[in-house]
A and B are shown apart, each in its own frame.
Chain A
Amino acid sequence: MNAPTAATTATKTISFTEAYSRALHDAMEMDPRVIMLGEDIADEEGGGVFKVTKGLSTKFGSRVRTTPISEQAIVGAAVGAALAGLRPVAEIMLMNFITVPMDQIVNHAAKLRFMSGGQTHVPITIRTRTGAGAGTAGQHSDMLEAWFAHVAGMKVVIPSSPADAYGLLLGCIFDEDPCLFIEDAMTRTQTGPEPEKGRIIPLGQANVAREGTDVTVIGYGRPLRDTLVIAEKLAAEGISVEVLDLRTVSPLDTDSILKSVAKTQRAVVVHEAPRSFGAGAEVAARIQEHLYSELKAPVLRVASRDVTVPFAKVLEQEYLYKPSAIEASIRQTLNGKGRR
């Protein structure tokens, strides 16, 4: 590989969609065991409805296969091929459709390593896409990551930058465990610095996206991008926000969370999924279990509402977490300074 110079790395940007696409291409080039299946993913069918797999079937032939609209068959075939030593990447077009192959994911992909006493394992990657804001309403917008984080054996990844998207998708494909890789529909055209070719980001490790000293905001995916903007704004007021990008929802990097919150003594947890029983509750619980006596304010959560994603624009926006709530929560946490 010809490594780009530092200067070109810094100036070139790519979109999330380019990052996903590039990761899939590079993974297939790096390892002949990587195969791909999903609805419409081959070039004859348009290279996927979101064009992420465009060009792959032309270059890699029968390793990339369009499937019928059969989610159980897709994930089941991925599980079986993984058991036989391949590294399948299955696309479930939209996250709500993942309710259909839940048996294959929860009962089989996640558990076969444990139930077989380590004799078999299922290194599959399931790529899926979701997110509210585009008016796709109740059955095309749900963030369901907490369901999968609740099952032992699954790894759940949501990137917040194109470079991370590239490195984490490679991380999923070359990980030995079943991974769910969640792509945010609303950020797909957003851009960021281009990743280094072939650089794998290991799973289970959070990233300090911004260093700070007054409060830690912990999250992943789209709200993290909002948080970075807010953190810049607050910096002008002298408020120093540390932003911790979990990258991997499960397994959760507890050490990094505790390290950051031990420093700032205040925490706000953000995610797009509904608030109740979400990943934020788990993060908040772990913080209080370990750092209760050191906290200067209660851990706050910012999330979307506990309702079905509505269609009408005004209602959809009312459903979604609000960047203004992230800012308000940071300020509220700081107002608690000194009070116990």
Chain B
Amino acid sequence: MTSKQDFSPATLLAVYTLALRIHLVDERFRGLLRSGRLAAVYYSPRGQEILAAAMGVHLNARDYLVTTYRGIHDQLAKGIPLRSLFAEYYGKATGACKGKGGAMHITHPASGVMVTTGVVGSGLPIANGLAWASQLKGEDRVTLCCFGDGASNIGAFHEALNLAALWKLPVIFLCQNNGYGECTPYGKATASARISDRAAAYGPNMRGVTVDGNDPEAMWTASAAAVARARSGEGPTLLEAKTFRFMGHYFGDPGAYIPKAEYDAALAKDPMPATRAAVLASGVSEAELEDLKKQIEADIDDALQFALDSPVPDLDEINRDIYADPTGAPA
């Protein structure tokens, strides 16, 4: 495992590379939506790239991911192929879910993306089940469950954390605290100062940590500890990564509810340029980063073209995947 490594320049570059991929995919989707070349509901992860990448480098395709509608950064960090992702956003037959799930319900088991839910907070109990299965089978898979600060206020959050602690499940609850649940600020929705403080309520099996999710080294180190803990059977972690959401709740959200001073302060700490500067300072050249960007852009071009060229689903798809046996479909 990577957990015993130092945060070397190579690790920093690995995190940045993954974050850049997330950043460029998000940028492309927003461009497509703005220009009317894509019609989809879209929840931009802009600002949350680093935390996903810093966790992602610790995981492999056998590990499970449960995430939410704002989960494209998590899915990319988990290694979902771009073609599957783009084609699903376009509702094409070649999409990850044959165009039947769409942006808010991405599934791709081959890369460990097991559930993307559009219902806030409902992923946590499911993540427990995946982790429980690993525990029963004696596998060292980790289940990563991503959600926002808003999700920490639904009942399922409490039920899931209690059960995970009781059963010492190999699960990481990664709360991506971006300061807003939809359009309501943290302080108006959450009574506790930190989400991670709630871990104490679930006893010694639940570890609670708050980390600056925009700091690649801090996030990488905290992720390493949580992953190592889960893999070795020591139990769950509630990892709260503090971050910010630059594009509001949904694509097109004017974000009038965000005070300008707060927004400007967050933007000044935008993790993408800061991490890029750190990568340059570690000895990687501008030219190398440009090459990296070009390579990712080429992958995105390919995925987009693949999606555009792909056929829409056959109308008979509406009769498939309701039940295992298609003859069991309702009349």
Interface, chain A (partner B; CB < 8 A): 35, 62-63, 65, 67-68, 70-73, 75-86, 88, 103-104, 107-108, 112-121, 152-153, 155, 175-177, 203-204, 250-252, 254, 286
Contact = CB atoms under 8 A, between A and B. Distances in A.
Nearest to B167: A65
B270 to A, nearest CB: 34
A68 B128 CA distance: 14
A252 B321 contact: no
A104 B122 CA distance: 7
Contacts of B330: 152, 250-252
Contact of A72 (B101, B131, B159): B159
B156 A76 contact: yes
B107 interface: yes
A77 B115 contact: no
Interface in B53-77: 64, 66
Contacts of B331: 252, 254, 286
Interface stretch (B4-12, B91-99, B174-182, B207-215): B91-99
* Most chain A C-beta atoms within 10 Å of own C-beta, residue among B66, B114, B117, B156: B156
Interface string B105-137: 101110000110111001011111111111011
Given A83-B130, A116-B107, A152-B330, A75 B322 contact: no
B163 interface: yes
Contact of B125 (A86, A104, A155): A104
Nearest to A154: B323
Contacts of B97: 115-117, 119
B329 A251 contact: yes
Band of interface residues on B: 35 or more
Given A117-B97, A117-B99, A79 B129 contact: yes
A155 to B, nearest CB: 7
B167 A68 contact: no
* Most chain A C-beta atoms within 10 Å of own C-beta, residue among B98, B99, B130, B167: B130
Contact of B162 (A73, A176, A250, A251): A73
A81 B166 CA distance: 17
B293 interface: no
B112 to A, nearest CB: 11
A28 B136 CA distance: 14
Nearest to A77: B129
A73 B126 contact: no
B322 A113 contact: yes
A177 B229 CA distance: 34
Contact of A80 (B109, B127, B155, B162): B127
B317 to A, nearest CB: 8
Contacts of B136: 35, 62-63, 81, 86
B115 A108 contact: yes
B100 A83 contact: no
Contact of B126 (A104, A115, A204): A104
Contacts of B64: 84
B241 interface: no
A155 B114 CA distance: 22
Contacts of A81: 129-130, 132-133, 136
A286 B163 CA distance: 44
* Most chain B C-beta atoms within 10 Å of own C-beta, residue among A79, A83, A88, A108: A83
Nearest to A84: B133
